[in-house]
Structure 1
Amino acid sequence: MKAAVLSLPILWLLRRIFLPYLWKDIDFFYRSTRYLKFVENSLNSDPPFLMLDMFYQQVSSRPQKTFIFYQDEVYTYKDIDLKSNQLAWTLKQYTKLQEGDCAAVFLGNEPAFIWTWLGLAKIGCPMACLNYNIRAKSFLHCFKSSGAKVLIAAPELQDAVEEVLPALVEDGVQVFYLSRESPTIGVDSLLDKMDFASDESVPRSYRSQVNGQSSALYIYTSGTTGLPKAAIISQGRLLISSSISTLSGLTSEDVLYIPLPLYHSAGLMIGVRGCIQQGASLVLRKKFSVSQFWDDCRKYNVTVFQYIGELLRYLCNTPKKDNDKDHCVRLAIGNGLRADVWKEFIQRFGDINIYEFYAATEGNAAFFNYTGKVGAIGRTSFLFKFFRPYQLIKFDVEKEEPVRDNAGHCMNTANGEAGLLIGKITEKTPFVGYAGDKSQTEKKLLIDVFQKGDLYFNSGDLLMEDKDGFIYFHDRVGDTFRWKGENVATTEVADVIGMTDFVEEANVYGVAVPFHEGRIGMVSIKLKEGKNFDGEKLYAKVVEYLPNYARPHFVRLQDAIEVTGTFKQRKVGLVQDGFSPLTIKDPLYVLDENEKCYKPLDLSTYNALVDRKSKL
């Protein structure tokens, strides 16, 4: 007995050394499997208990609880229920929408986005969430890929609607402004009709065929490498989506701040959907404002907020204030947060629990950093991998395809080696694909990966797993380029350049040079306000931290770095622009090894490079 008692501290010490995250792994596994069991039971009930049923549950149990704060407006769960009823009855009266038909919304972040979504769900119609920044060709591509029969648009987007209206009318699409009058011939108004519509409950018979496999949403990819694709979000996937906010610890007592666009999965599926799951309140911000962020948090007593990594960097770049830690925020949920920004944010704004996660809108593999490991996007374990099988495989970034052995099989990467994330497609981890062009779905499939007939989803992301089971984001396929026989990860280079004191933001990419293989590094830089470009200082920084092949050879100064709606940097246009001073009006600089600096790129230097008179 005495020996057993004495051995307890030894066992405790051994666990701390060899299995330091054991209890956290077990706890997370238990909570996540319990949530998945809840989803499974909900889908298997008769009738299935879906997102809309959860909303009804909250309306019933807390009708006067505030659901949405928006500017100076307040909406309870009951308010939104009644408003969505009016929308549903209006659409039934003035459109030809039937159960299963899609309607598209072209709206910004406002309460109408949410009650429109719920109203459509009440009549069994999936919703296509159009990015309000798209125009012309991209607009029509997105709209048509969803097969939508109705478009509901914000009146302030009149110009964008009128630009594509002839094509929509030709296809028999009904178009509405979310207003009480319409200035456009061929476009009807909606709010005036809703004013006279019933707010009585909509019978379940209007959505009697909706089940877990039915389409609930169409969420569009960013389109950083082409036209956006409409990811099909099933009702079952919509149920699972709130697992991230639930596992982060969101409760009914929380107030969640959503500065992210609702047309993407983070804001709508994790944010709004997570609040519906828990009966929490949300604060809707039309657009992220770095100057108003903390004032909003104080005004609405925000306890949780969503982020994209860039947002936290913007906040860290603001002038320090005495009240930086004067707020009620306890949780932050998001992705894309750099380790250095993570540390700086916590140090400056207080002990906020940051829950970083990795997930793709359409993907079947996801990771969650439940330990708070700075810099990691998630953690894995043998338990996790058993239920959500994935692999990191060797990838040739130059050919942009997986590396296969002589037998034609893919090869796993070693710990610490970046590899392409692929998720095994099974009944419990499906990949539904995209609406419209089936070839887009087929392009994301990998067949005969490790054995004949197996099927995996190609995430397009390069990740790295360390020996302790932590997962780190490395780069997106297409963002990595090859120079002098070496792979260059743009995010790693951007992190180094971002450490330079005059750099506000850096967007790294590779550009082609005539008569050279691969692509050489180039960086677009936005300077901090009041700062000037220092070619010597930047040269010293890249030489200190980067190998020769990874150092950007060209620099382009821009007033603003173009990003997508989810704050991902756009690179395609920059790559196409190249580094020619003949076509680029922005200031350009070139790395000069002899003078140990970046000097202005003039026409004679440019000609010497393209004519191979100067070596790269």
Structure 2
Amino acid sequence: MLIWIICAAVFIGLLIRNPYFFQDVHFLITLFRVRLRVSRYRERNYSILDRFLDVVKTQPHKPFVLFKDETYSYQDADKLSNKVARALLDSGAVTEGDTAALLVGNEPVFLWLWLGLLKLGCPVAFLNYNMKSQSLLHCFHCSGAKALIAAEEYKDTVEEILPHVLEQSVRVFILADQCQTSGMESFRDKVNQASTEPLPSGVRSHFTLLSPAVYIYTSGTTGLPKAAVMTHLRIMSMTTGLALMGITSSDVIYTTLPLYHAAGFMGFTATIERGMTFVLRNKFSASNFWEDCRKFNVTVIQYIGEIMRYLCNTPKKDSDRCHKVRLAMGNGIRAEVWREFLNRFGNIQIKEFYGATEGNLAIHNYVCKIGAVGRVNFLHKKAFPYAVIKYDHAKDEPLRDSSGFCIEAAKGEPGLMVIQITQRAPFIGYARDLKQTEKKKLHDVFKKGDVYFNTGDMLCISKDNFIYFHDRIGDTFRWKGENVATNEVSDVINVADGIKEANVYGVHVPGHEGKAGMAAVLLKDGEKFDCIGVFKHLEKFLPAYARPRFIRIQNSLEITGTFKYMKVKLVEEGFDPNKITDPLYFLDEREGKYIPLTQEIFSSVITGKMKL
């Protein structure tokens, strides 16, 4: 009897010291099952395409994709993707192993195109349809694509880069019934005429789980966007990883996130892996969000922080809690928005996670701790080693001790998140860019010869072992759910009329996720700032989210001893006219120009009266 009392006392003491004991154990059990499933897939060389074809056989008539008033079953998707594959095969545009690039928005044809190309054994590059001119051309060349398929609405965008694309003997298709532009071919008519018969597996005979499946673009920490390589094995690993969130085959998942982003795309592949139903919307609409959820009986939603904030900012309705949503999966939600969302829309489990598109590990907040992106679990960390290390912001590099090794940050201290590169957690890198791939690696971190993936993010581990996002480092900021490389923006500003140099960085705006773009600008001698001309120049070459919201005119731009622009002080000063004597300008999109940043505008921005 005494032994039982002692055991009970020890167990109670354990629970007091670790109130999340049961959640930690449940997470580890689920993780073990997920890893076991991935191992079985690997042994069988079983890809997401194999899984899709199996689901087609077992539940052909189950709704697979819902879009507006359209419903497509798994069988419908199989036949439509067969038509895509046969149209491409008959045209001779691609053969097994050739890459095709898609410039298509959130619509079902995006999904059929990807599945069809998968059936041909062709990797696919997902181009960001917000990209313009040189940035778009750069992204296309990164993939080495032999074919470009674009939606009709992006025809003008393609025409801007068409001469350069055609020089590479690339076939260019427009999703239309006819196309009169020289160098472009219609594609919808070819698909309509193609057979729905399945393709023989021999057309993808060299296909393995280590073959590239998708290229997804990320700004990373420097330079132009880079094409992160997603192999078939990585897709299966990431997709099954979403099972850690608690999704099941009976769920209906709703996404308004761009399919060219990893998060939105993984929502689709998770649908296939679990045999769920996928509800797709072309663009996020705060006013229609819950109506869609009710209309389609949605049980799981995908989000980024901005989506949750926009939903909380909509007028309150009596129907706010009238829905079947039980789970929200995503990242970037601020603690105050998290609380407000739960109070208003009901008891929805919010499963925040942290990970990079090209990264080698994802961290999950499986206990739904408000504000946290994850939780340290000893056994998980043992299997997939990661650390938060001290960082020298002045030198823009990790801080090292006298032996040359990195130093772990103390509990509660922000530091750089790094993840060890191992066979279990590989870092594949970027397509056709060995230099940038190597830049993301940190060598000799804790011992000679070890290699870690540099996430470029500052995180903090609390005393109770929860992980919190702190900030990004390097030449990048995140705005409107997109990563923006400051060097890319600077390069565009530098060739605007009257501009000599530009130093771009991100600044915090109260009430907003991420950071808004700001540029400290040095004018050419004798030149004045052209408020309209600069706006038109940026509008032509940069997507809306990458255009600086604020511009600061300086007499000189400070640089470091290694000739890098100094940004720390500029970031700290922000865009407050009370602290800055330099002329400040604000991006007025309605007027189509930059206007002087007055005290009145500043107050409207920080109080949220003026939307950015």
Query: Normalising TM by the smaller chain, what interval?
Result: 0.7 to 0.9
Distance of 1:196 and 1:439 partners within structure 2: 44
Number of matched pairs: 534
Question: Secondary structure, in 3 states, of the residue corresponding to 2:595?
Answer: coil
Is 2:427 aligned against 1:377? no
Give the superposition deviation at 1:244. Answer: 3.9
Give the superposition deviation at 1:556. Answer: 6.1
Match of 1:447 in 2: 443
Distance of 1:309 and 1:347 partners within structure 2: 16
Amino acid at match of 1:30: I
Residue among 569, 575, 579 paired with 1:519 = 569
Q: Given that residues 221 and 475 in structure 2 are in contact (C-alpha distance below 8 angstroms), is that contact kept between their aligned partners in structure 1?
A: no
Distance 1:400 1:410, change over 3 A: same
Q: Given that residues 173 and 187 in structure 2 are in contact (C-alpha distance below 8 angstroms), is that contact kept between their aligned partners in structure 1?
A: yes
Q: Given that residues 258 and 264 in structure 2 are in contact (C-alpha distance below 8 angstroms), is that contact kept between their aligned partners in structure 1?
A: yes
Give the superposition deviation at 1:448. Answer: 1.6
Is 2:140 aligned against 1:112? no
Residue among 208, 231, 236 paired with 1:234 = 231
Match of 2:516 in 1: 507
Distance 1:78 1:314, change over 3 A: same
Match of 1:274 in 2: 270
Deviation string 1:49-94 (CA, Å, 9 cap, x unpaired) is: 1110000111011100000011111100000000001111111110
Match of 1:313 in 2: 309
Amino acid at match of 1:213: L
Give the superposition deviation at 1:439. Answer: 0.7
Q: Given that residues 507 and 523 in structure 1 are in contact (C-alpha distance below 8 angstroms), is that contact kept between their aligned partners in structure 2?
A: no
Question: Secondary structure, in 3 states, of the residue corresponding to 1:312?
Answer: helix
Match of 2:610 in 1: none
Amino acid at match of 1:152: I
Q: Given that residues 446 and 455 in structure 1 are in contact (C-alpha distance below 8 angstroms), is that contact kept between their aligned partners in structure 2?
A: yes
Match of 1:572 in 2: none
Question: Secondary structure, in 3 states, of the residue corresponding to 2:457?
Answer: strand
Amino acid at match of 1:212: L
Deviation string 1:330-367 (CA, Å, 9 cap, x unpaired) is: 11000001000000000001110000000100001220
Is 2:431 aligned against 1:422? no
Is 2:26 aligned against 1:27? yes
RMSD of the TM alignment (CA)? 2.9
Residue among 464, 468, 483 paired with 2:464 = 468
Is 2:61 aligned against 1:11? no
Distance of 1:38 and 1:553 partners within structure 2: 59
Distance of 2:451 and 2:600 partners within structure 1: 46
Distance of 2:435 and 2:46 partners within structure 1: 33
Is 2:297 aligned against 1:304? no
Distance of 1:291 and 1:560 partners within structure 2: 22
TM-score by length of 1: 0.81
Is 2:388 aligned against 1:392? yes
Match of 1:162 in 2: 159
Give the superposition deviation at 1:588. Answer: 3.8
Distance of 2:182 and 2:74 partners within structure 1: 36
Distance of 1:246 and 1:383 partners within structure 2: 19
Question: Secondary structure, in 3 states, of the residue corresponding to 2:110?
Answer: helix
Residues 148-159 of structure 1 aligned to structure 2 (within 5 Å): 148-159=145-156
Match of 1:404 in 2: 400
Identity across the alignment (%): 47
Is 2:362 aligned against 1:366? yes
Give the superposition deviation at 1:149. Answer: 0.2
Distance of 1:251 and 1:307 partners within structure 2: 18
Q: Given that residues 554 and 588 in structure 1 are in contact (C-alpha distance below 8 angstroms), is that contact kept between their aligned partners in structure 2?
A: no
Is 2:349 aligned against 1:353? yes
Match of 1:585 in 2: 595
Is 2:263 aligned against 1:213? no
Match of 1:38 in 2: 37
Mean Cα deviation higher: 552-561 or 244-253: 552-561
Q: Given that residues 106 and 153 in structure 1 are in contact (C-alpha distance below 8 angstroms), is that contact kept between their aligned partners in structure 2?
A: yes
Distance 1:337 1:193, change over 3 A: same
Distance of 2:99 and 2:160 partners within structure 1: 22
Question: Secondary structure, in 3 states, of the residue corresponding to 2:163?
Answer: helix
Match of 1:197 in 2: 194
Q: Given that residues 110 and 286 in structure 1 are in contact (C-alpha distance below 8 angstroms), is that contact kept between their aligned partners in structure 2?
A: yes
Distance 1:120 1:515, change over 3 A: closer
Match of 1:543 in 2: none
Deviation string 1:292-322 (CA, Å, 9 cap, x unpaired) is: 1111111111111100011100111111111
Q: Given that residues 305 and 333 in structure 1 are in contact (C-alpha distance below 8 angstroms), is that contact kept between their aligned partners in structure 2?
A: yes
Distance of 2:422 and 2:311 partners within structure 1: 41
Structure 1 gap ranges (5+): 482-488, 526-534, 540-547, 562-582, 592-596, 601-616
Distance of 2:581 and 2:169 partners within structure 1: 51
Distance of 2:181 and 2:324 partners within structure 1: 46
Match of 2:452 in 1: 456
Question: Secondary structure, in 3 states, of the residue corresponding to 2:5?
Answer: helix
Question: Secondary structure, in 3 states, of the residue corresponding to 1:212?
Answer: coil
Is 2:125 aligned against 1:138? no
Amino acid at match of 1:315: L
Q: Given that residues 239 and 269 in structure 2 are in contact (C-alpha distance below 8 angstroms), is that contact kept between their aligned partners in structure 1?
A: yes
Match of 1:611 in 2: none
Distance of 2:149 and 2:506 partners within structure 1: 39
Q: Given that residues 221 and 456 in structure 2 are in contact (C-alpha distance below 8 angstroms), is that contact kept between their aligned partners in structure 1?
A: no
Distance 1:504 1:124, change over 3 A: closer
Deviation string 1:548-578 (CA, Å, 9 cap, x unpaired) is: 9xx99998655579xxxxxxxxxxxxxxxxx
Question: Secondary structure, in 3 states, of the residue corresponding to 2:193?
Answer: coil
Match of 2:534 in 1: none
Distance of 2:75 and 2:583 partners within structure 1: 57
Q: Given that residues 101 and 127 in structure 2 are in contact (C-alpha distance below 8 angstroms), is that contact kept between their aligned partners in structure 1?
A: yes
Distance 1:224 1:159, change over 3 A: farther
Give the superposition deviation at 1:480. Answer: 9.5
Distance of 1:223 and 1:190 partners within structure 2: 34
Q: Given that residues 334 and 513 in structure 2 are in contact (C-alpha distance below 8 angstroms), is that contact kept between their aligned partners in structure 1?
A: no
Distance 1:586 1:285, change over 3 A: farther
Distance of 1:32 and 1:552 partners within structure 2: 55
Q: Given that residues 220 and 476 in structure 2 are in contact (C-alpha distance below 8 angstroms), is that contact kept between their aligned partners in structure 1?
A: no
Question: Secondary structure, in 3 states, of the residue corresponding to 2:243?
Answer: helix
Distance 1:312 1:51, change over 3 A: same
Amino acid at match of 2:375: R
